Structure 1
Amino acid sequence: MTEIAVDELQKDVEAYMATGGNRSAAARLRKLPRKTYNNRLEIAQKKLGIQLGKVVDGRVDYVKAVKRPLPKGKSVARYILSSVQNNTHPHPGFANLEAYAGWLRAFGSCEVILGSYSYALDAYGAKAVKRGSYEKAADRGALGKLWYAPELEPYINDDSIELAPGLVWCGEMNILPTAANPLTGLEDYNGRKSNIIPHAKHALASVASLADEAAKFNYATGTVTQRNYIQKRVGIMAERKHSYGGLLVEVDAEGNWYVRQLQIGAKGEVYDIGPSGYRGVRIAGGKVESVKITDAPSRTFLEAITWGDIHAAEMEVWVRHLGWGKGGMLDQLAPRKQFWHDVFSMRSRSHHELKNFHRTFEKWATGEGNVEDEVQVTADFATEGHRAWLETIVVRSNHDRHLDTWLNIAKIERDPENARYYALLQHQVLAAIEDGNRDFNVLEWALRRAGIPKGVRFLGEDESYVICKSRDFVGIECGLHGDLGPNGSRGSTRSLKKLGRPANKAHDHQATWMDDTLSAGACSTRFPYMKGPGAHSISHIGTFENGARQILTFWAGKFRA
C-alpha cells in the first residue's frame, strides 16, 4: 500500500474540521470515496497523534438531497436500496441481491445503496436477556464500538439523495427497528416528494394530494442484516416483523420512476418481475434465472395479481389497455391467477345518489343512468380481461353489493328507464329466497346473462381463498375485499392484521404495505364522488410462487421503466 504523505493527512483533518465533523461532506470536499476517507482519518489520528470527535453541533439548514443525473436516451438507471443494522451479520440472501444488481447492469446502471441504522446494543447483557442466551462480551468483541459488516460497508450511503425528480433516498434517517410503523409522522417530510426510508421493515404509505397531482408515496426498505433485538416484549415482537430484502428503483430518461419491493425468501431466493421484455426473474445461489415475455404463459414465477379496484364502467381507457389489452401487464407477467375487486361499480344508480336529483339528471343527460348497460360494460371488460390460461376470481366487494342495495331501496316507479331490468333482477332474487338459496349472487347472475366467460369464478360472501400455502407457510388470504373487518368491525389494513395470516386486499383505493397486510389501489383516480385531497393510485399487488410480494404502480403509461 502506498504511504500517504503527512500534508495530505493534515488536509483530510482540516476538511473534517471545516465540515463540522461531517465525514460524508468532508469526503466530498476531498473528492474521495467515503470509505477511503474514513480509512485515511484513522491513519491520520495514529500518525498525527490526535483524536477526532464531534467538532460542533447545530446546523442552519435541514439536510438537503443531492440530485442524481437522469439516464440518457433509452437507458434506465436502477438502484437496489436496503438497510443495515450495526453490530449485526448480513443475511445470506444479500449475495443474491448483489448478483441481481450485476445482472441488471447489462440493461443500464444499477447501484446498491444501503442505509445504516443503530440499535441500543449497550442494553444487552445479563439484565436484558434470559440467562445463558448471550455470550460473554469477550467472545463478541467490544460492545461499545459501533461497526457494520465489512462486506456491507462499501454500499453504505447515509446521505440524502434525490434519485429522480420527486423521489428521495433518505439515508440520513435513523429509525429504531422496533418502530411499529416506521413511516408515522413522515407525511410532510420533504414536502410533496416521495421518500425511501432505510428500516428493518418493508412498508408503504400513500399520502393524499389534490386531483391535479400524483399521490405521494413513503416507502420503508426492509433490511439485509439478521435479526438482532433486545429479548424483551418490544424486541421479541419486532423480530416477527423483521423483513429481509430491499427496494428496486427504476428511473427513465424522462424522470419517471418506478419502485417495487424485493423480498428475500426463506432460502435466500429473490423474485422480481424483471426489466422490460421479461416476465420474471428468480435469483438463487447467486445465479439469475429469467423468463422472457415471449415464452409460453406456463413459464411464470408469478402466482397472482391482485388488481386495484376495477370499477369497469369508470376505468380510465389507458389503464384498461395497459392492464388487460393485448400485450399489456396481464399478458407480459402471465400470473396463474388474478383477483378482481369491485369489478362492478353501480355508478348508474348508486344508493348514495338516489336522492340527488341533479346527479340523476346528469346521468340521464350523459347516458350513464342505465343499470343494464353498466352490467354489459362490466361483462365486456370481464370477457376482454380473462384468459384461458389463468384463473380469474371475483372477490365479493361492497360496490358489487350496491346492486343488491338498489333492489332493496329503489323507488322504481320514479325510474322508468330501469324499471324492466329492475323487475327481471328482482324476480331472480325473490325466487332464490323462496328456494332457500342464501348463496345467490344477483350480480353474478346478471353478468352470466350478459355473456362473461365460464372460467370467471365468483367468491361467496366471506369465502376464503388462500394462495402460496405450504407446510412452512400459512399462505396469503386473497378472499377479503377489505370493507368488512373481524368481529363486526369496519375493514381496514390495520384491522385485517388481526387475522394471523398475510392478506392481499383492496377497497381503500390507495396502495398500502403494513406488516403482512397489503392493499392495492384502484383502476382510476378520478371518481365522480371524490372531493378533497385523496391518496388514490393505480397500484396492484403481484405475488410470486414463494409468497414474496410487490406493489406495482401504473405511471406515464407504464408499470416499469
Structure 2
Amino acid sequence: MNFKDLTSNDIDYARGIYQDKSLSWDERMNILVKFFGKSERTVRKWCSERLGFKEKVEIEPEQYVKAKARVHDGTKKRFIISWAQNNTPVHTGLMKNIEAYADFINADIHIIAGRYKNPTSIWTTEQEQDEFWYDEVVDYLDANRHDIHKYVSILSDIKIQPTAVNPMTGLQALSGVNSCVFGSPKVQLEMIPVLEGNKPKMMLTTGAVTKKNYTDSKSGKTGEFHHTFGFVVVEIKDDETFFVRQVTADDKTGNFTDLYYRVEKGEISEVNGFAAAILGDIHYGHHDQEVLDSTMKLFERVKPKHVILHDVFDGNSISHHEMKDPFIQYGKEVAGTNDLGKEIDFMLDSLKAFEQFENVVIVRSNHDDFLDRWLKNEDWKKQPTYKNSRLYMKMSDMLLEQYANDPYNVKGVIPSIINERYPKFITLGRSASYRVKDWELGQHGDIGSNGSRGSLLQFRKLNTKIVVGHYHSPGRKDGALAVGTSTKLRVGYNRGASSWLQSHVVIHNDGRAQHINFIDGEFTTF
C-alpha cells in the first residue's frame, strides 16, 4: 500500500487502531504494520508526521471508567449484547423491547460503549469537551472483556470505528479459540477455520441501540447507510455447548423477532410462521440427519411459507473430482456409492419431507452441474463401473432434448428429474430471480457478476439484499448473507482447517433476516 493510495476509510481505521489505548503500543504497531504492509518505522512516520495522529492525554469520563470495570453476571445463561455511540440518543423503542426480552429470557444485558467524535453531529455541539452516554444505557454500559463461556468471549474493550467498512478486519486472532462478539453498528458475521475436533469459531458484530449520528464525509455517509439497529443473543447450554444469533430490529419502532418470539412495544408473543427459510446446502448422502430432524421440528413450531433448498444433489457417485482416482473408485465400488441411480432415488425420496410446504424452491446449484458435466465430458464405455450405463443413455437423451429446444436456456437434468416427481416444486435456472420480502433468494452463490466467481464481498455491492448458499460457511456482510451447510462438518474433501458450520437463514414476517446456527444438532435452549 502506498501513502497516496490511502482512502478515508483506511485513515479512519488506522487512526482508530493508533489511538486505541485498550491495546498495548506493540499490539497497535503489529496491527498497523500488517494493515499498511510497511515496516514499523514507516508506519510510525506515516501516523505521527503525515497523518497527524497525535498522542494526547485523555481524561476518561466517569461513565466509561465504570464501564471498563463492568463484570458479567456469571449466574446467567443468556446474554444480550449491543452497542451505543457516545453523545447520541438511544432508540427508546428498541431499548425498551430489549429490556422486556431480557426479562423474558432471563438475560444479562451488555451495551458496548462506542466512542466516536462527530464535529457535524446533529445531536450535540459539546462532543469535543464532554463525552457521555444517555441514561437509558448507562446501567448496561460495558467496556471490559468477558469470557462468558469456555468458548465465547465478549470483547467490549476493543474500540472499533463505527465507519469501518469491515469492522472485524485484523481481529481474527484476538480471542484465541473462542467465538467472539464485537461492538459495531454494522451487523456482520464471519467464520474462522478450525482444525478437526475444535468447536466452531464465529466472529460477530452487534448492531446498535443508538440513533444514526455520523459525519457528512464519504465514510460517514456510508456508515450511516449500513447502520443497523440490533443485538446479539448468546445462550449457554452447558460447559461445552453455546448458541449465538444476531437479531435486527425495525428502524422506526425497534420491534424485532428472535426465533419464535416477537417483541413489540415491550410485549412478547409467539410467532407461528416465517416468510421464508433458506436451508444450508443439503448434499443428500453427505447430509446430517440430526440437523435436518431439528430443522423439521423448528418448522412444526414456526412454519415457513417459502422453503429454499440448495445443492440437494451431491453427485458423489459420478464426481469429476474423483473420477480418475482408481483407489477412490475401488472404495466406492466396494461401498456401492458409485451407483448414480441409487443416489438420485435417495435424493428424490428424501425431498418428500418438503411436500408439506406451500412453496418449495430448488435453487440451481453447482453440484447439479456435476451430472450434466459427466454426460458431456465422460465416455460411458470408459467408466470405472458399467452400472450407470443405461442412465447415461437416458439422461443424455433428456439433455439433448433440452438443447434442441433452446441451447442457451437449458434447465438441466437434476431440476427436470425433481419436477417429474414433484411438479409443484419450483426449480430455478442459473440466472433466475426469486424474491421474498425484498430479499433475493434465487442465486446459489458460486457464480457472481458476469460469470465470475461469487463471493459475499461481491454480492454486498448488488442493488438488492441477498441470501446465497455454496460456501458451507455462514456469513454476513451487511445486506449479503450466506447460509452454512446441512451436511456433516467433515465429508472428506474439506481437509485441514475448516470454517464449515451447519446454519440456515430465516426471513421473518417483518422482512428481517436471521441465521440459525447449529452446534451438535441443536440451535437453542428455548
**Which TM-score band applies after superposition, normalised by the shorter structure?**
0.7 to 0.9
Structure 2 residue 463 is matched with structure 1 residue 500: yes
User: Does the 8 Å contact 2:78/2:234 carry over to 1?
Assistant: yes
Flag the 1:490–1:321 CA change in 2: closer, same or farther, 3 A.
same
**What is aligned with 1:87?**
87
* Aligned counterpart for 2:315 among listed residues 329, 333, 346: 346
Q: Secondary structure at the match of 1:377?
A: helix
Per the alignment, residue 292 of structure 2 pairs with: 320
| Residue 103 of structure 1 pairs with residue 104 of structure 2 | yes
Query: Counterparts of 1:34-113 in structure 2 under 5 Å?
Result: 69=74, 77-92=77-92, 93-104=94-105, 109-113=106-110
Count residues in correspondence: 458
Alignment of 1:306-385 (within 5 A): 306-324=278-296, 328-384=297-353
**Correspondence for 1:435 among 384, 398, 405:** 405
Could you tell me how far 1:141 is from its partner in structure 2? 4.3
Summarize deviations over 1:3-32 as a string: whole Å, max 9, x none. xxxxxxxxxxxxxxxxxx99xxxxxxxxxx
**Cα pair 2:150 2:239 within 8 Å, conserved:** no
Runs of 4+ in 1 over 6 A off after TM superposition: 63-67
Which structure 2 residues correspond to residues 442-521 of structure 1 after superposition, within 5 A?
A: 442-449=413-420, 451=421, 453-468=422-437, 475-521=438-484
1:409 equivalent to 2:394? Answer: no
Equivalent residue number for residue 305 of structure 1? 277
Range 436-445 or range 112-121, more displaced: 436-445
Mapped contact 1:208–1:216 kept (Cα < 8 A) = yes
Pairwise CA distance, 1:323 = 2.3
Contact kept? 1:322, 1:557, Cα under 8 Å: yes
Instruction: Give me the whole-angstrom Cα distance separating, in 2, the residues matched to 1:141 and 1:499.
Output: 38
Counterpart of 1:245 in structure 2 is: 230
SS in structure 2 at match of 1:360: helix
Assess, with a 3 A threshold, how the Cα gap between structure 1 residues 266 and 248 changes in structure 2: closer, same or farther.
Answer: same
8 A Cα contact 1:118 1:174, kept in partner: yes
Cα pair 1:82 1:224 within 8 Å, conserved: yes
Partner Cα separation in structure 2 for residue 242 and residue 90 of structure 1: 13
- Look up the match of 1:40: none
Cα distance in structure 1, aligned partners of 2:132 and 2:468:
40
Secondary structure of the residue aligned to 2:181 is strand
Q: Is 1:284 paired with 2:247?
A: no
1:176 maps to 2:176: no
- CA 1:157 to 1:448, structure 2 compared with 1: closer, same or farther past 3 Å? same
Alignment CA distance shift 1:162-1:68 (3 Å)? farther
Q: 2:485 aligns with which of 511, 522, 528?
A: 522
CA distance in 2 between partners of 1:405 and 1:305 (Å): 30
1:542-561 matches, cutoff 5 A: 542-561=506-525
Task: Summarize the alignment of residues 384-403 of structure 1 with structure 2, pairs less than 5 Å apart.
Answer: 384=353, 386-403=354-371
The answer to whether the Cα contact below 8 Å between 2:245 and 2:516 also exists between their aligned partners in 1 is yes
Letter in 2 for 1:457: I
Measure, in 2, the Cα distance between the counterparts of 1:542 and 1:484: 22
TM-score by length of 2: 0.83
User: Using the alignment, how far apart are the partners of 1:208 and 1:501 within structure 2?
Assistant: 29
Which amino acid counterpart does residue 316 of structure 1 have in structure 2? D
Deviation at 1:259, TM superposition (A): 0.9
Q: Is 2:146 the partner of 1:153?
A: no
Q: Could you give the per-residue CA deviations for residues 370-393 of structure 1, whole angstroms, max 9, x where no partner exists?
A: 111111111111112x04243111
Instruction: Sort the Cα spacing of 1:329 and 1:142 in 2 relative to 1 into closer, same or farther, 3 A.
Output: closer
Contact in 2 for aligned 1:464/1:479 (Cα 8 Å): yes
Give per-residue Cα distances to partners, 1:504-545, cap 9 Å, x unaligned.
111111011111101111112112222211100001111111
Could you tell me the percent identity over the aligned residues? 26
Could you give the per-residue CA deviations for residues 248-269 of structure 1, whole angstroms, max 9, x where no partner exists? 1111244421111111113324
With over 3 angstroms needed to count, the CA separation of the structure-2 counterparts of 1:65 and 1:486, relative to structure 1, is farther
- Consecutive unaligned residues in structure 2, runs of 5 or more: 1-20, 23-57, 61-67
Q: Which position in structure 1 is the counterpart of 2:7?
A: none
TM (norm. structure 1) is: 0.78
Distance 1:534 1:357, change over 3 A: same
- The answer to whether the Cα contact below 8 Å between 1:68 and 1:164 also exists between their aligned partners in 2 is no
SS of residue paired to 2:456: coil
User: Cα 1:448–1:233, aligned 2, differ >3 Å: closer, same or farther?
Assistant: closer
What's the secondary structure of 2:460's corresponding residue?
helix
1:65 CA displacement:
11
What is the SS of the residue equivalent to 1:494? helix
Contact between 1:158 and 1:171, CA under 8 Å: does it hold in 2?
yes
**1:414: how far off?**
2.3
Q: Quick check: 1:273–1:333 contact (8 Å CA) kept in 2?
A: no
Post-superposition Cα deviations, 1:482-513, rounded to whole Å, max 9, x if no partner, equal 00001232100011112111101111110111
What letter is aligned with 2:179? Answer: S
Contact 1:68/1:161, CA 8 A, preserved across alignment: no
Q: Provide the alpha-carbon RMSD of the alignment.
A: 2.3
Equivalent position amino acid for 1:390 in 2: E
Contact 1:309 1:341 in 2 (8 A): yes
- With over 3 angstroms needed to count, the CA separation of the structure-2 counterparts of 1:521 and 1:64, relative to structure 1, is farther
